[in-house]
Structure 1
Amino acid sequence: MLPMADTPLLALLAGSNWPHLFDRKALRAGGDIARGSSISELRIDDSDADTLRLSARVTAPFDAPWNSQIKLHRSSDAPFELDLRCTCPDGGRCAHNAALLLAAAERNTDPVPLVLQAPTLAPVRAAAAVAVEPRAVLTLRTERFGVRVHRTAQSRIGVARLSFDYAGQRVPPDNRSTPQRSDDSGIERARALEGEWIDQLADFPLVPADAVVGLYLDDDDIARYAPSDYVLERGEGRPASPAHLAKVLSRLAAAGFTLEFEPDFPVELMAAPSDWHVDVRDRGDAWFDVKLGIDVGGERIDLLPVLRALLADPGFPREPLPNERADAMWLAAVDERRKVPLPLKRLRALIEPLLEWLDRPTEAGAGREPPPELQLRLPQVAILEELPLKLDGGAGLRERLAVLTAERPPALPAEGFLAELRPYQQQGLAWLGFLADAGLGGILADDMGLGKTVQVLAHIWTERAAGRLKKPVLVVVPTSLVANWRNEARKFAPKLRTLVLHGPDRRELYAQLGMHDLLITTYPLLGRDQKFIKPHRFGLLVLDEAQTIKNAHTQAAQVVRGIKAQRRLAVTGTPLENHLGELWAQLDAVEPGILGSERTFTTLYRTPIEKHGNQARQQRLNRRIAPLILRRRKEDVAPDLPARTEILRSVDLEGRQRDLYETLRLAQEARVQAAVSEHGLGQSGIIVLDALLKLRQVCCDPRLVKLDAAKGILESAKLEHLLELLEELISEDRRVLVFSQFTEMLDLISAALQRQQIDHMMLTGNTQNRGALVDRFQRGEVPVFLISLKAGGVGLNLTAADTVIHYDPWWNPAVEAQASDRAHRIGQEKPVFIYKLICSGTVEEKIQAMQSQKSALAQAVLEGGTTRGLSFSADELAELLAPV
């Protein structure tokens, strides 16, 4: 025999008495683990002659994997030291370390006897030396159970038969008390250990079968039961069903019993998973697939059906229960018969990031199984990092998303686009390009006045010029913005073939869809025209002022979801006004399912964030939506903006208001022509100005016109547009000045604001307390200040305002600028946005178009009703009075 100092430590360990350091239960369980090949990543480091290091990842049945570490050290002046460590709750002298020592000892075929001293460990009771330790086996079966009194009554009960396994030989228990002796089988029985196993059964609600079945069965039936059969008593001496017995199986397995299942037993308890997986498949487009699985006994089991079943089970605890153990397990159904024990903590950590999709009703249809994988969109790649599992694949997917979401240099529109984009608009164009490259929808949510329309038009033009956008683009807008989109498309992208699907004859235009690049319709018309829209497929669907569909249950919102489009884009300055449900509705319209169902979103995000202030959920929601929303506030891009931005808003006249305008136009045209024929153009100024005034009043509101033909006409397209505009501005916490030259129009606006419950003040020539009103506005007490152009055009300092609206623009640019300067003056710290509301196709638009070239005309029209400086041709007058 080799001297101890020269003997390899592994050989000493193999021949030592280390089993005496463990109690019987740990030693027994360690043997089962070692025999069950539940040890992975075994490392034996004997590079140091005086120190042996062992480590492994050990998985006990129905338990989580633990990391075990053992060190054996010798020195010349001290006894051998054995250091046992494990991450399990039991610490060092556990079944996991016993299994590790058994596995390591088997690696040495020439053990050298060694008595280990372990002063740092509590002394343990010496185990009886046995040739082979018995393994306690419970075999589960189902028996038919007939009641003696009612012979026709049949039920099924669960029976567990106990036996002991000695190295593959099975023997039933007996009542002999001799600690160690051979029996007829030739096996050296360890009766003391067998007795300990039998005693453990007393810790469970199991009773010997003969204690209860004899009360209900005839002698012939009793013969089916052996003395080693146990049943679960459900009360009144009656045994329980197999399903009730199955509820204690995981506890029996955890206690070390080996469970075997007869085919007729309704439940089979599987071993704990040896590994968990997340498999990712990149489809190469905007989609990727995720499969979840566990390895049990060499079999890969799909976890998605298991998780969906758990969520559908009302008994599954989604939140930790009071006094729940950290290592609590849940028996999850793999199929109709098999169940696998899974750690509750890990299950919850796995389900939580995927709830939006796991909790969603299957789209496979009734009677069909859901797909074996989760089908996710590219922006959801971040979810993979939240899963507590080993990731297989997906590296290329993450790299692709990183490239797509990386900050891009500002982009310029393709040649032929006639607008010069500001730097932040170029960045917006680059972001829209990212969406197109990824095949994604999104929300352009810049503040009002930052040019969202021109950015979208630049994107459409650029994609079309590159040949990536071949099908028509459908733009859906509020009625008041039809003219604005049409005019800006003509102005900035005149080569885009634009078709407006509006008006009484629009249905005849649907046959021409394929011949146009840009189609414009309205939300109110979607419901009426859906049968004409539904057959077509569009390259891009643009939803302007998308807050219009913030209620997903409206008809317009439902029709939008039914439109077939390769991509969808929402445009809104107010994606969130009242609650998170509005954001869900708009994002779901452009990327269906990206945030789960409305019900799931409310459960996961709205309620925790709005009612409980849950910051973790808020941060997760931010991560979910970040790649799909671009929002810049005016304050954010102020360095890129001029101190003053002018925005022209076109409004279309409709219905009776349009009819009134046309009727009045014909009458005034005849009147002007008669005056010019009789007196000449130079002497007909008063009649010309009166005719233009009446037409301008119709544009503002028919109630301003003191003619019988105007009575009873309550429609006012411009007033409706103003109210929508004010509602949006107020939601952005803007302070607004509204100018009009007609004090009666201000009265009408004031009445409408009162009906809308919008706080406001009004200043006209009759106002006595101008200073007090100005002070209130400057203090921010009211958001809207209505001002008569003549009374408030000069002499006021209203720097609290950051927005000016000219309801009926003053045609003299200098006078108009003076009014705008009430907000745009020294002391103003924010960019000022100036809106002009113009009725398209009317005298307002035509004078606006002439203004830069015909300053004399503007001077004449706007100088207090006189004809001083009036100088324009008959052709220009005819153009002013032309039909809409």
Structure 2
Amino acid sequence: MILVILDEVHELKGGGTAQGQAMSCLIARSRKVLALTVTLMGGYSRDLFYLLWRMFPRQMVQAGFEYGRTLGFAERYGVVERTYEADDLGPDWNQASIGRKTGKARVKEAPGISPLLLPDLLLERSAFVRLNDVSQALPDYEEIIVTTPMDDTLQTHYFDLSNTLVAATRKALACGDMRLLGKMLQSLLAYPDGCRFGERVYLERGGVEELIASAPALEINLLAKEKRLLEILTTERKQGRKVAVFLEHTGTRDLVPTLVDKLHHHGFAPLVLRGQAVKPENRESWLKDHLETGQYDCLLCNPNLVKTGLDLLDFPTIVFFQCGYSVFTLRQASRRSWRIGQNLPVRVFYLAYAETMQDKALSLMAQKMETSLAVEGELSGQGLAALSESENSMLYELAKALTDQQPVEDVTTAWSRYRQLELASVLDLDETESVTTTEETRVTTTTTISSPDGQTALVRHELVIRGRVYLRGNTAVAYVDGNRFRPQAGVIYWQDRRIGSYDRQGHGEINHKPIRLYKPPHLGHFVLAEVRQAA
């Protein structure tokens, strides 16, 4: 055998699985190996250990590793957690002693990857396919952040719950007890959407479940975020577009029945995908069979059910009703309909309540996206730094943000910055200039106007450059303050809606405000500028 091709190679990462053994046998009988995946690392360094052993055994031995000893690999290229319990140390630990005594540590691998993994083992043996290689076959892709204020009653009870939990968590952390962190974050993420069920937070102390904080169940017919969801669904349905709605709470805090009831009441027919009801290998055919009936106009499911192995071409619009805090899940699920074969522009909405934990989580998610770009080969400095952190660190960063120990960037700013970096990742290889969405550049021009009677007047205009225009073949895209405009054939579009026009000289208007598309000599690339009358 000359060549063996292993698709979805991350599924073969297990040390003692039959699939892993089959991989070893195929490689042993092949001269060349081509391993393909879009999700090489699942957060742990051990995800790569057995894959590298099977593909590059000689190099692994030379590096000093032994087969089956994943902990040694994790100590060099991952994160190792050592836990010391006070009970293990004894009552007289460190009393009247000169040297430090330690008890027996429990050692385990934690999520996280060292940046050294890339230069040491991956770069010389990997080829990263960039989005630009296939982008000509893909439609436009747009991500829209929608932050919504809470209802007044909900806001009052939310902040009461937040203040109580923050105070209790600070007190617990001062005693070295971190158990409240996860409970606090889950409660504050969940209560705004599940306020009809109320919220109660318990903590076990001395064998007794102690009530730490609570928030009442509220009778609100339609929550603010539900209204925004219905507005999006209504707009998309008028355009003949089906919508996939993703939400995290489909288990203990199940919101699906409530959303189904609200959607039915407003004339929508949701199709609900449940993990236990449909096996992974049957989901694609199950979805196809149900959509062929023509009875459904939207899909409700947990994003974890569709984040890999399933194309949602029938749903060009995706709404994250809840986002969670898994970067991997968000990036994978948000691209389910942006695949080869999609002929409609793809829109992805992210909904969050303003000034809540949901808002903070979405902002931190945008900052974490650079880690994913780094794994895909877009190695920015910030991305490499973030690569050494685990997704579990999101819990601690959210906790720090909530207790005001760590500032959180505004969600719109954070997401705009991530989109700039993602845009840079699809630029042509010879594109050297940085991506900017706003340039504080002003150019003043003076025009002499002559009247029929011979009188002249000077009219001064100021061009305020708002953003850069990127040329891609026969199309162009302009980014201004995180918004994406598409100039095409004399018409300017935003979210597929006509909002302006321009002539052959680049003069035009957006929403009746004069603009100009041109190429300033001092910049060397095209820009979108607002035209103002100078004083």
Q: TM-score range by the shorter chain?
A: 0.3 to 0.5
TM (norm. structure 2) is 0.40
Normalised to the residue count of structure 1, the TM-score between the two structures is 0.25
Larger RCO, structure (CA 8 Å, separation 6 or more): 2
